């Protein structure tokens, strides 16, 4: 264990320092652009269907962004956005969609069931589990207020 | 001018959330899955405490498009369900509120994984 720790320290020292400011700026820009895309989708659908409820507009925006992200992941473009944007491409819902599609694609040669269907939840699984648990807790809190 | 200001706020809040995520990536060994879970829980906590609504009024898609919006919407759905239909509503409401995004992710994920083959990653 001590050797492993010492080795990690050594790697940390010898590895080139990440260009902190540059990665932060890129994450900020990428995240900002993706959020503005979502806002634009919401504003456009509000013009087309004025009666749509706020909840449904939110759902529509999510579905649109997830579709775009899945498609861009499929054709290999989201990978490039990810290399540029870092967390800026991970934290928006497009990053969640990418985390579903990318491993599913990666493992599709292992078959539909154990390749695609299992691996699509490698990253999304924990997110869904924590989401559902947090939702139940929120529901219980909602009972008392 | 007003629309410009709106998008500026969306951009700034969404950008700052991603910047915080990037700091976590740069400073710690935290994995992407953990970062997503962290921001999801942050969204849920903001919603339960009532802060989410205020941020959303100000930043709109800046807080709802990041995964915080997923957590916030889930928590809001569960609380709203509990308020209106009791315990059953609380159980049903969470996933019902995010079912659109979740269904889209699974459906398009499955579809595009069938259609496209992963390219070997350049080193």
Residue A103 lies in a domain: yes
pLDDT tens, position by position, A53-102: 999 999 999 999 999 999 999 999 999 999 999 999 999 999 999 999 99
Distance, in Å, from the CA atom of A107 to the CA atom of A43, rounded to the nearest integer, reads: 37
Residue A65 lies in a domain: yes
Residue A116 lies in a domain: yes
Look at B65 and A39 and tell me if their CB atoms are within 8 Å. yes
| Residue B11 with chain A: CB contacts under 8 Å | 32-33, 35-36
Compare A19 and B85 and report the one with higher pLDDT. B85
ipTM of the complex: 0.93
What is the count of structural domains for chain A? 1
Residue A16 lies in a domain: no
**Average pLDDT, whole number, for chain B?**
93
Residue A114 lies in a domain: yes
What pLDDT score does B1 carry? Answer: 79
- A51-59: long-range contacts, CB 8 A cutoff, minimum separation 24: A55/B97, A58/B64, A58/B69, A58/B73, A58/B100, A59/B99, A59/B100, A59/B101
Residue A118 lies in a domain: yes
pLDDT tens, position by position, B17-66: 999 999 999 999 899 999 999 999 999 999 999 999 999 999 999 999 99
What pLDDT score does A6 carry? Answer: 76
Domain span holding position A27: 22-144
Q: For the whole model, what pTM was predicted?
A: 0.90
Residue A7 lies in a domain: no
Look at B108 and A87 and tell me if their CB atoms are within 8 Å. no
Residue A45 lies in a domain: yes
Q: Which of A72, A92, A125, A132 to substitute to test the interface with B, most B CBs within 10 Å?
A: A92
* Over residues A129-137, mean pLDDT: 96
What pLDDT score does B123 carry? Answer: 41
Closest Cα in chain A, distance from residue B91 (Å): 6
């Amino acid at each position: 264990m001590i050797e492993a720790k010492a080795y990690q320290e050594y790697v940390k020292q010898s590895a080139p320092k990440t260009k902190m400011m540059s990665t932060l700026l890129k994450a900020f820009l990428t995240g900002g652009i993706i959020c503005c895309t979502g806002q634009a989708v919401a504003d456009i659908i509000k013009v087309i269907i004025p009666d749509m409820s706020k909840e449904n507009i939110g759902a529509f925006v999510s579905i649109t962004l997830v579709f775009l992200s899945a498609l861009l992941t499929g054709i290999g473009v989201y990978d490039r956005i990810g290399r540029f944007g870092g967390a800026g491409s991970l934290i928006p819902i497009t990053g969640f969609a990418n985390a579903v599609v990318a491993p599913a694609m990666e493992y599709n040669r292992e078959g539909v069931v154990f390749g695609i269907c299992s691996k699509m939840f490698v990253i999304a699984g924990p997110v869904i589990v924590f989401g559902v648990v947090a939702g139940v807790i929120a529901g219980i809190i909602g009972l008392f207020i | 001018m007003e629309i410009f200001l709106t998008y500026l706020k969306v951009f700034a809040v969404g950008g700052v959330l991603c910047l915080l995520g990037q700091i976590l990536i740069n400073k710690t060994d935290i994995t992407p899955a953990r970062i997503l879970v962290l921001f999801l829980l942050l969204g849920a906590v903001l919603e339960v405490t009532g802060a989410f609504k205020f941020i959303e009024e100000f930043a709109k898609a800046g807080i709802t498009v990041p995964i915080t919006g997923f957590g916030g919407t889930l928590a809001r759905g569960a609380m709203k369900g509990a308020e209106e239909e009791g315990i059953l509503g609380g159980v049903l409401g969470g996933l019902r509120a995010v079912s659109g995004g979740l269904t889209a992710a699974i459906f398009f994920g499955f579809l595009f994984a069938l259609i496209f083959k992963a390219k070997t990653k350049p080193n």
